[in-house]
Amino acid sequence: MLARAQPLDVVVLAGGRSSEHDVSLSSGAAVGAGLTDAGHRVLAVEIGRDGVWRRDGEALSVTPGTGLLDADVVFPVLHGPFGEDGTVQGLLEMLDVAYVGAGVAASAVCLDKILFKQLMASVGLPQVDHVGVDAERFARERAQILGEIARLGLPVFVKPAHLGSSVGIVKVSDEHAAAAALEGAFAHDERVIIEAAAAGIEVECGVLGAPRGESALASEPGEIAFTGEFYDYAAKYTPGAMELRIPAGISATARDRVRELALLSFRAGGCDGLARVDFFVDGERVLVNELNTMPGFTPTSVYAKLLDASGVAYPELVDRLCRLALERHAARRARLH
C-alpha cells in the first residue's frame, strides 16, 4: 500500500466513440480500482458510443473554466480517435482542469502514425521504412502510390493511421493485394500507413514522468511473443495468444538503446506523464515503431506490467500519474498566456 498523501477526487473518463470503446472501459475500471487502492475517490464518467458524457447514467453538461465535477484531476483512459487524439485534451484544457497524460499537440501528433514517423525522422531517430497515403491522393495517384509501396518490398503491413489496438491492420504478401488492403484501411481512416516488414523481435518500453525537470523513467523492456503471423488485435486480446517476457531476450547494449530511444521519442513527441514506445530489435539494431500516449491500462496490460517489473506497483503508478498532472496544471497556470 502507498503511504497516504492527500486523497484526490479523480474523474476516470472511459469509453468513447472509437472502435476501442470496450478496451477503454476495461482500462477505466482497472484505473478506478487502482486509484481506490491508492486512497483516492473515483468519479466514473463514461463517454458513450454516441459521444455523450454520462455520470451514473445521466448526461453531463460542462461549462468552460469551471472544471469537471469539482474533481482535482481527470484521468482520460481513452484509446484512439475522439479521445487519445487531442480532442478530449482540448476540452479538458477549456474546462481548466488537470488531466493525466499528453497535451493537445502531442496527443494529436503521436496518434497519427504518419505524423509521428515524420517527427521522429526530423530528429534522426531510426525507424521502419514506410509510406503514408491520404485517401484523396490515392484516388488521384493510385499507380504511383502502388509503385512506392512496391519499393518497400514484401511483405508490408497496411494500417489505418489513427487507430490503436492493431484495429484494421492487414499483412500484404502479394503485390496484387495491396490496393484492396488500402481500400479496406480507408474504410477505417482517411489516412493510411504502409510499413515494410522489420526483422527481429517486437520489444516495448514504458515511460513514466515529465519531460521537464526530473528525468522520466524508462522501464525494463519487455519482449512480445505471439502465436500468429503478427501482433494483431487477436494476439493482443485473446487469452494465451500473447506472452510478455520481462526482461526481453536482447543484449545489454540493445536494452540500453531501447530505453534511450524510448526517452528520446517521449521528449521529441512532447509527451507528458506516460507513454509506451514500441520497437523492433534485431541483434544490436533498434528501430522505433510507434508511441502510444494512453496505452491499455489494465493491471495485465503491457504498460502496467513493464512498470511493475521496474518497481512501480499499479496503485503507485496511477497515483504518480495524477500527481504529475497536478504539477503540470499548476505550472501552466502560473504562466501568462
Average pLDDT of the chain, as a whole number: 92
237 noted as active-site residue: yes
Residues 198, 48: Cα–Cα separation, whole Å: 37
Average confidence (pLDDT) over 282-290: 97
Look at residue 186 and tell me whether its pLDDT is greater than 80: yes
Catalytic residue among 37, 93, 237, 256: 237
Please report which confidence band the pLDDT of residue 2 belongs to, taking 50, 70 and 90 as the band edges: very low
Highest average pLDDT, of 148-162, 251-265, 295-309, comes from 251-265
Residue the block writes with cell 494512453 = 294
CA nearest 1: which of 27, 39, 30? Answer: 39
Average confidence (pLDDT) over 24-45: 97
Please report which confidence band the pLDDT of residue 300 belongs to, taking 50, 70 and 90 as the band edges: confident
Q: Domains along the chain?
A: 9-101 (3.40.50.20), 109-126+199-293 (3.30.470.20), 130-196 (3.30.1490.20)
Average confidence (pLDDT) over 248-271: 97
Please, which residues have CB within 8 angstroms of residue 181's CB and are 6 or more apart in sequence? 158, 170, 172
Catalytic residue among 24, 165, 219, 310: 165
Residues 324, 62: Cα–Cα separation, whole Å: 24
Task: Return the pLDDT at 131.
Answer: 96
Catalytic residue among 28, 132, 164, 296: 296
Look at residue 233 and tell me whether its pLDDT is greater than 60: no
Lowest mean pLDDT among 135-149, 162-176, 227-241: 227-241
Angle at the Cα of 25 (from 23 to 26), degrees rounded to 5?
Answer: 65
Please report which confidence band the pLDDT of residue 3 belongs to, taking 50, 70 and 90 as the band edges: very low
Catalytic residue among 278, 308, 316, 319: 278
CA nearest 48: which of 71, 82, 74, 93? Answer: 82
292 noted as active-site residue: yes
Query: In this structure, how many other beta carbons lie within 10 angstroms of the beta carbon of residue 138?
Result: 19
- Three-state DSSP at 84 gives coil
Burial of 57 (0-12, 13-18, 19+ CB in 10 A): exposed
The whole-model pTM stands at 0.91
CA nearest 168: which of 136, 191, 200? Answer: 191
27 noted as active-site residue: no
276 noted as active-site residue: yes
Which helix H or strand E contains 22, and what residues bound it?
Answer: helix 21-37
Catalytic residue among 85, 202, 290, 308: 290
296 noted as active-site residue: yes
Q: What is the DSSP string of 139-164?
A: HH-HHHHHHHHHTT-SSEEEEETT--
Distance of CA 173 to CAs 140, 162, 169, 293, Å?
A: 24, 23, 13, 30
Residue the block writes with cell 495468444 = 241
